[in-house]
Amino acid sequence: MLVLAAAEAVGARTGLPPAEAQARALPAACAIELIHTYSLVHDDLPAMDNDTLRRGRPTAHVVYGEGLAILSGDALLTEAFGLLAREARGRAASGAGFAGRTLEVIALIAEAAGACGMAGGQALDLQAAGAGASPLDRDGLGRMHAMKTGALLRASGLAGAILAGATDRMVASMEIYGAQVGLAFQIVDDILDVEGASAVLGKTAGKDAAAGKPTYPALYGLAESRRQADACLERALHALAEADLEGQLPAIARWTVARTH
């Protein structure tokens, strides 16, 4: 949704029709959703969060076993980049620079999903929750969340913007917007793990505290965590205003902070 919304918002500024903006961004949106889904399958594994509930249903390793869950995640990740590569190859003859933008997006998403982004952030999370580990300070927690969750959401907004032909100013604003929305999402996720109910969340509530994981409520308390999420929202909206980007992007940012699941 964020990829498509970013493409539409940029297209509205550059004169690109909404249908064409969506067509350009849809493969990247699908690729990021494939990566997101793989990350959830692996995140739920016994070696990671050892969770049994996801989106209100038993997790993949519970239903199919650990081996198939691992392989399904591997296949989803691989297919994401296969999809993007096929799209770049299919557009290579267009002569409109689209293939080059797709290659830029491939590199962007790869960095966001890999050791410098989501996978690296998950490694920091596992390390911080390990026996005898030193607790993360405020900077460490912010860095972990920026990598674990923020990187892929940041890449989502940037991917849509780049594919729709964003200017450098628009790209810079989308980078701030995506990073702030990503951090806000993870802060709210931490809050909901404390306050939410499993039936509403669609996943097990209270598991972060039970596992001794570093979270914003554990470090700051609930009231300050909410304040920080609101501050992220304000920075995200300001970044959009700076580049005169609108569409669904402000509503997505507000939903991120106000959501209950």
Q: Average pLDDT for residues 216-243, to the nearest whole number?
A: 95
Handedness of CA 134, 135, 139, 144 (dihedral sign): positive
Residue 207: half-sphere exposure toward Cβ, Cα within 13 Å: 18
Tell me how far apart the alpha carbons of residues 231 and 184 are, in angstroms, rounded to a whole number: 9
More confident residue, 97 or 132: 97
Q: What is the pLDDT of residue 198?
A: 53
Q: Average pLDDT for residues 20-44, to the nearest whole number?
A: 96
Q: What is the pLDDT of residue 98?
A: 77
101: helix, strand or coil: helix
Question: What is the DSSP code string of 148-192?
Answer: IIIHHHHHHHHHHHHHTT--HHHHHHHHHHHHHHHHHHHHHHHHH
pTM for the full model?
0.89
Q: What is the pLDDT of residue 95?
A: 57
Domains and CATH numbers, the chain: 2-254 (1.10.600.10)
Name the CA dihedral angle for 34, 39, 41, 46, rounded to a multiple of 10 degrees: 170
**pLDDT value at 104 more than 80:** yes
**pLDDT value at 54 more than 60:** yes
Q: In the structure, what pLDDT confidence band is assigned to residue 97 with cuts at 50, 70 and 90?
A: confident
Which residues lie across from 187 on neighbouring strands? none
Q: Kindly report, residue by residue over 176-227, the tens digit of the pLDDT.
A: 999 999 999 999 999 998 886 555 556 565 565 555 677 899 899 999 999 9
Q: What is the pLDDT of residue 130?
A: 74
Question: What is the DSSP code string of 186-244?
Answer: HHHHHHHHHH--HHHHSS-TTHHHHTT---HHHHH-HHHHHHHHHHHHHHHHHHHHHHT
